[in-house]
A = this chain, B = another copy of it.
Amino acid sequence: MSTNEHTSRSTGTGTGTNTRASAAPGARERLVVIGGDAAGMSAASQARRLKGPDELEIVAFERGRFTSFSACGIPYWVGGDITDRDTLIARTPEEHRARDIDLRLRTEVTEIDPDRGRVRARDVASGAESWTSYDELVIATGARPVRPELPGMDAPGVHGVQTLDDGQALLDTLARADGRRAVVVGAGYIGVEMAEAMLRRGYEVTVVNRGPAPMATLDPDMGLLVHKAMEGLGITMVNDAEVTGLVTGDDGRVRAVSTADAEYPADVVVLGIGVRPETGLARAAGLPLGEHGGLLTDRSMRVRGHENVWAGGDCVEVLDLISGQERHIPLGTHANKHGQIIGSNVGGDYATFPGVVGTAVSKVCDLEIARTGLREKDAHRAGLRFESVTIESTSRAGYYPNASPMTVKMLAELRTGRLLGVQIVGREGAGKRVDIAAVALTAGMTVEQMTMLDLGYAPPFSPTWDPVLVAARKATAKIRATAGAPTPSAGPTRSR
Give the interface of A toward B (CB within 8 A). 38, 70, 72-73, 76, 81-82, 84, 87-88, 189, 331-334, 336-337, 353-354, 356-363, 370, 372, 397-401, 429, 431-436, 438-440, 442-443, 445, 449, 451-462, 464-466
Contact = CB atoms under 8 A, between A and B. Distances in A.
Nearest to A89: B399
A85 to B, nearest CB: 10
Nearest to A349: B480
18 contacts: A38-B464, A70-B399, A70-B459, A73-B397, A82-B401, A189-B458, A337-B451, A354-B452, A359-B457, A361-B456, A361-B457, A361-B458, A363-B458, A432-B462, A433-B435, A438-B453, A439-B440, A439-B445
Nearest to A331: B457
A394 to B, nearest CB: 12
A456 B360 contact: yes
A446 to B, nearest CB: 12
Contacts of A73: 397, 399-400, 459
A370 B458 CA distance: 10
Contacts of A88: 399
Which of A333, A462, A466: most chain B Cβ within 10 A?
Answer: A333
A314 B400 CA distance: 23
B401 A333 contact: no
A356 B454 contact: yes
A462 B465 CA distance: 24
A432 B434 CA distance: 11
Please state the number of chain copies in the assembly: 2
B400 A82 contact: yes
Contacts of A353: 452
A455 B333 contact: yes
A418 B206 CA distance: 50
A118 B70 CA distance: 68
Contacts of A433: 432, 435
A333 B397 CA distance: 11
A172 B337 CA distance: 57
Nearest to A341: B452
Contact of A370 (B331, B438, B456): B456
Contacts of A84: 399
Nearest to A82: B399
A431 B460 CA distance: 10
A19 to B, nearest CB: 30
Contact of A464 (B333, B358, B397): B333
A187 to B, nearest CB: 16
A333 B363 contact: no
Contact of A401 (B70, B81, B354, B465): B81
Given A397-B73, A399-B73, A439-B436, A357 B454 contact: yes
Contacts of A362: 458
A95 B355 CA distance: 49
Contacts of A354: 449, 452
Contacts of A435: 433, 435-436, 453, 455-456, 466
Given A87-B398, A464-B336, A454 B76 contact: no
Question: 4 smallest A-B Cβ distances: which pairs?
Answer: A443-B443, A361-B456, A87-B399, A439-B439
Contacts of A454: 333-334, 356-359, 372, 438, 442
